[in-house]
Amino acid sequence: MGVNLSLKAAVVIVLAMAFLIGGVVLIVKVSMSVGVIPGYPVPVEKIKVEVTPGDSLQGTQFLVRAYWEKQRPEQDLSLMIQGPETIERFFLYDDGEHYDLELKDYVYAAHYDSKGHVDGVYNIKNDKETLASFRIGEPKCDLIVGNSNDNNINFVILPYGYNDFDAFVNDAKKIVAGRGALLSKNPFKSNRDKFSFSVVNTNVDLECEVGCNDVSTLVCCNTQKVKKEAMNCHHDSIFVLLNNSQLCGSASSYAKICAKNENSQLILMHELGHSFADLADEYVYSNYFGDYDVGKIDKANCDTETCSKWQQITTGCYPGCTYDSLYRSVEDQSVMFDLYPEYNAVSRDKIIRLVNDYTQKENEAESLLPDKKSYVVSMRYHNGEIDAGDVFLMPVKSGFSYKSSKYNYSIKDDSGNIIYSSNLEVPNKVYPVTGPDSVPVSLASVEFLVMVPYARNGDVIEIRKENEIVDTVSVTAFSNKCGDNVCDDDENYLSCSKDCSLIGDHFCQTDVCDTDCPDIKSCSKRARDYLLPVILVAISLIVIVILIIRNKKKKR
């Protein structure tokens, strides 16, 4: 009888151990299934993902935004990003603080920092499905004239219509530094060491068109694309070279020139007079096409009949400078009048002052904003109003705006103090090179990108028209305040557990027991998931303990 009891006890112990092991395995599985990849995989049919920009330099913080089709209480969304060498989990947030539009609108967003990542294509995935892609690339900026000193005034040159990059570079060198070119003319010649010129090796279609708006010499390009490609280089001014022999040229916030035309060097001088030096046309448009209105002209080379602006430089005072009612300093010998191969004395003085002011601005900015990276803000101008949109971060130092404008921006910290401010140039007016049908064009709408210097403690960019605030855009997401023991509005337990607790961070997190969720099913779900394995482990332990006690009693 004793032998039979021992055999039964052994069987019971073996079964109890099996239940114990099974219970432990279940607990491990439940633990692994909760919180490892919350909300993943995401149903492909319920989500749309977009990335801004689609292609940029290593170190760019790409904006990733996902649109969820249906209502969803959770405010986090987990996706995977797979690159040439890595695959990693990436969280997006619906809290109204990460460029996800509005709080709890089922739009999720966050910035993906590409610092330290290898070049190549990166796929945003849902399990095996690719939802969106973006590319991290090498710098495409090549210096062709001058040196790489950031303290120089830097021009960046973009190609359009070239199939051969070497041919583009040769044209760029010729138009800048060839015989009779820009750097052979004062004041550029006498200040040559303060300028540098770089080209961008790109085949992006800038969508340039000669003869747009029924003006034969006018050039129109996609300003958004031009600004984006120029950001491959640190720059203060941009011009586009078209592989074209027509008489063409125009300027807004950047210049466009037909490089193969015999007058291309003079046209560049004229158009940079607009886009770089903020000079006005010294001829009168109405002589060509009648009445017009391009707004108020307050430029250094145009004045009222007193001509007092340049009385310390020259006594010249001749009627006609954009308008009949304004005056110029020379009768006709000026590249801003009729492509005469010189800047007049007043224009030279303006450019020299601009060059000297640049050094002062550069030193001030270096002390305030030492990081060589910039916010890139998407903007839209429409009938006098400006709206600021998405923001991403690029590892390129922004340049300076020299041109007068009724618009400006300020970077402010979280106490409302101004860190830095500058004029904001809006490319809504396009001025063509002189010709029989040359008429300036005022655009009712234009989309463009603006580079704003990065401030480590930046909280908001405030945009003003004269003295009135027209829009603001938050940049606090780039300040990286995690670890300061304050749970800021753009932080939650998932994004910064150092500062925020799970309970009370006002953020509903997936697959955890979170009291910030309106329906706390995850708590009861977790309890149900653990109930069976815990019961198995408990029963097994009780049985084993009872058998051990009984066995000890029998031995006594």
Helix (H) / strand (E) containing 9: helix 2-33
Q: Assess whether pLDDT exceeds 90 at residue 134.
A: yes
Q: Assess whether pLDDT exceeds 80 at residue 535.
A: no
**Residues 24, 538 contacting (CB under 8 angstroms):** no
Half-sphere exposure of 208 (CA within 13 A, CB side): 29
Q: Where are the domains of the chain?
A: 2-34+520-555, 44-137, 141-361, 371-478
pLDDT tens for each residue of 513-529: 888 887 665 565 555 55
Q: Which CATH class is domain 141-361?
A: alpha beta
Pick the CATH number of 44-137 from 3.40.109.10, 2.60.40.1930, 3.40.190.10, 3.40.950.10: 2.60.40.1930
Average pLDDT, the chain: 87
Equal CATH topology for 141-361 and 371-478: no
Measured CA distances, 437 to 61, 149, 216, 256 (Å): 45, 41, 7, 18
The 3-state DSSP class for residue 436 equals coil
pLDDT tens for each residue of 197-219: 999 999 999 999 999 988 889 99
Q: Assess whether pLDDT exceeds 50 at residue 4.
A: no
Strand pairing of 445-453 and 385-394? unpaired
Cα–Cα distance for residue pair 321/302, rounded to 1 Å: 6
Among 43-57, 368-382, 385-399, name the one with the lowest average pLDDT: 43-57
Cα–Cα distance for residue pair 113/119, rounded to 1 Å: 13
Look-up of token digits 């790409």:
62
pLDDT at 235: 93
Cα–Cα distance for residue pair 218/251, rounded to 1 Å: 9
pLDDT at 32: 45
Q: Assess whether pLDDT exceeds 90 at residue 56.
A: yes
Q: Which CATH class is domain 371-478?
A: mainly beta
Position 261, amino acid: N
pTM here is 0.84
